[in-house]
Chain A
Amino acid sequence: MSDFLRSYLTVGIFALLAVIMVALMLTLASVLRPERPQKQKYISYESGVDPVGEGWSQSRLRYYLFGLLFVMFDVEAVFIFPWATRLETYGVFGLVEMAIFIFILALGLFYAWRKRVLQWV
């Protein structure tokens, strides 16, 4: 077998291992677990309550938008805390740098505000 085929064999073995791993785990689970099928078990799970209505339902997009805004402040905090502990050593350079960073993030908040995302209707 040539050298280059052998080197790609590694990739093949790796892919095969991935498949075997999944197959093995699923088979093992099906062998070990007790199997007592009941009709109720096939209902989709909704915190123990019987599901109401159809699978398609509308949900509020606002939670998602607030989640996104939260990420923005989160990122800000992640960078500001370590920066603040050593603020004196960074001096004016650090101050300007952080001001630019906050400006760009604030632009996002400004955008959200002007697009009326912050109003909870």
Chain B
Amino acid sequence: MALDVLGVVGFIRPHIDWHALAPELTLLGVGALLTTLDVLLAERGRNITPVLAGLGMLGVLVPIFTLLAAGVVGEPRVLFGGAYVVDGFALLLKGLFVAAGYVVILMSTHYVAEGDYWGNEYYGLMLSSLLGMVVMSSARDLISIFVALELLSIPAYLLATWRKRDLRSNEAGVKYYLMGVFASAIMLYGMSLLFGVSGSTILSEISASPGLSSGSASSAVVILGVVFVIVGFAFKVSAFPFHTWAPDVYEGSPTPITAFLSVASKTAGFVALMALVYVGFWERSNVYGPLLWFLAAASMTAGNLMALRQKNIVRLMAYSGVAQAGFMIAPLAIAGSSTLAADDATSAVLTYLVIYAAMNLGTFAVIMSVARRTRTGDVASYNGLFRTFPAMAVVMTIFLASLAGIPPAGGWFAKFVVFKALVSADNASGYVLAAVAAVNAVIAVGYYGKIAARMWFEKPWAASAEAVPEVASVGVSEEGASPDPAAAAPLSDSTQPIPAMVRTPLNLLPFSLRAALTITSLATLVFGILPFTVSTLTDVSLLSPFPG
């Protein structure tokens, strides 16, 4: 009775929609299982962890499909008072994250074993990072967005240092960590300002609050809040003025993790940006619009120009990723002009994200396969690849064509929908941004085409100069990271024990890597030749439950 006097309400058991949370719970379960197996089996678990992690990822697809069958796209499930929404948008992104995670696990299987790196924790950390991303795709609340961001970032900081015998990898991890924390701090500052103005952390309530609605006078606090939050995520997606960490981190990290960061982590940043732009800041397109416009134009131009000068393939891909991020931000910049343009922009960004995931993961799989033989990340090592490694040359050409936007590879459709969305806004800023994008698409062909030309027309790279010791060097894989072939050589001495798991000779491709290449190249081609496969998937709207 004392409780009633104090005004304390009795506890009401919250209704929890277990079905809607099933993908997250499955992922959590698999992660916990992997950790338990790791501590119980220790080194004996090395052979089964990658397999279990992969199967677990495929298992997460099951609840995603049952949710789809349950009609979540039509009627979204809203949990925790609007903080967590499972709708078509969230479901598509969960599927994308899980698929990308599966491909990264395929790429990692051999890399981790051959490098003799810790194997069990690697997959456990990757699953928890993926859990953060899957949570991010449903988060519609400042706190859930922040928790998801930290959950996906912290394991990624650790994974970046996984080649711990290499100083570059340590540097990558520390750099990524410091920049990530810096970005988080700026973002939190912005979030606290937004909470102060609106009195709520739920995005739809923030949008509806008098401080943010367009009728009210422009308040300095709202502007600072919006700008700081967007800048925080601009770090995550490596947009131009905030991209400086990307090349060093990408170069130092293990190559599968580079692929993971450049695809999955970047996608998660975009998911949060879209949730914020469409739900939280919807009424304030006059604030976020110009900022995103600048980020898009600057990222495309600066990324492409800097990529032209790169000598290392991984650094080149890092700058190319900056430019591609610019293309993905572009539709968001004009999203506020009308409801129609907004829905076009959603589909455009999602289409780009799906196709980008396929082609970028594929490119990194090729980089790994080539570096496994050549032991270097030098662009020159791609000279005459068609003669020494014809299959890789063909597959790489598909991915490069896709990245450059040449049909029939998938990238053309991604670029097409972006241009369509920009033009459909039908205002000056949309047309100018489309023109900037068009110029940049041409610049990009320059450096993608140069690699293709190297592969098909040049004399084979002089691998004989730094002859690879056939078996001994299998124990150490320092690929992708070393711009100088000689730097990797001293490590490959016979004192390094060869892990028992390395059974595939250097001149053959491991099965898992082959599977990753097949999946990504097929996806890239299918998306390019039959664009409706991706456009039907990405035809979702973020606006429907919250009419602007």
Residues of A within 8 A of B (CB): 3-4, 6-8, 10-11, 14, 86, 89-91, 93-94, 104, 107, 110-111, 113-115
- Residue pair A10, B220 in contact (C-beta under 8 Å): yes
Q: How far is the CA of A113 from the CA of B38 in the complex (A)?
A: 12
B223 touches A104 (CB 8 A): no
Chain A residues, Cβ within 8 Å of B11: 86, 89-91, 94
Task: With A90-B11, A104-B32 as known contacts, state yes or no: A8 contacts B290, CB within 8 Å.
Answer: yes
List, in ascending order, chain A residues with CB within 8 A of B290's CB.
4, 8
Among B32, B38, B223, B286, which residue has the most Cβ atoms of chain A within 10 A?
Answer: B223
Check: B445 CB closer than 8 A to any chain A CB: no
- Bound state CA distance, A94 and B220, in angstroms? 44
Residues of chain A within 8 A of B32, CB atoms compared: 104, 107
> Is the beta-carbon distance between A7 and B39 smaller than 8 angstroms?
no
Which residues of B line the A interface, CB within 8 A? 10-11, 13, 32, 35-36, 38-40, 42, 218, 220, 223-224, 227, 286-287, 289-291
27 contacts between A and B (CB under 8 A): A3-B218, A3-B286, A4-B286, A4-B287, A7-B286, A7-B287, A8-B223, A8-B290, A8-B291, A10-B223, A10-B224, A11-B223, A11-B224, A11-B227, A14-B224, A89-B10, A89-B11, A90-B11, A91-B13, A107-B32, A107-B35, A110-B36, A111-B35, A111-B38, A111-B39, A114-B39, A114-B40
Closest to B218 in A: A7
Write the nearest CB–CB distance from B32 to chain A, whole angstroms.
6
Residues of A within 8 A of B38 (CB): 111
Hey, which chain B residues are within 8 Å of A86, CB to CB? Answer: 11
Instruction: List the B side residues contacting A113 at CB < 8 Å.
Output: 39
* Residues in A neighbouring B224, C-beta threshold 8 A: 10-11, 14
Distance, CA A89 to CA B35, complexed state (A): 34
The closest CB in chain B to the CB of A89 belongs to: B11
Decide if A93 touches B218 in the complex (CB within 8 Å). no
Residues of B within 8 A of A7 (CB): 218, 223, 286-287
A17 CA to B286 CA, complexed, in Å: 24
Shortest Cβ gap from B167 to chain A (Å): 15
Q: In the bound complex, what is the Cα–Cα distance between A93 and B39 (angstroms)?
A: 30
Apart from A93-B13, A114-B40, what 9 extra A-B contacts exist at CB < 8 Å?
A6-B218, A7-B287, A10-B220, A10-B223, A89-B10, A91-B13, A110-B39, A111-B39, A115-B39
Q: Which residues of A contact B227 (CB under 8 A)?
A: 8, 11
A107 touches B218 (CB 8 A): no
Q: How far is the CB of A13 from chain B (nearest CB, A)?
A: 8
What's the Cα separation between A7 and B289 when bound, in Å? 12
Residues of B near A104 (CB, < 8 A) are 32
Q: Which residue of B lies closest to A108 (CB)?
A: B35
What's the nearest-Cβ distance from chain A to residue B428, in Å?
Answer: 13
Q: Chain A residues with Cβ under 8 A from B36's Cβ? A: 107, 110
The 4 closest A-B pairs by CB, nearest first: A114-B39, A89-B11, A10-B220, A10-B223
Distance between A93 CB and nearest chain B CB, rounded to angstroms: 5
A111–B37 alpha-carbon span in the complex (Å): 10
A16 to chain B, nearest CB (A): 13
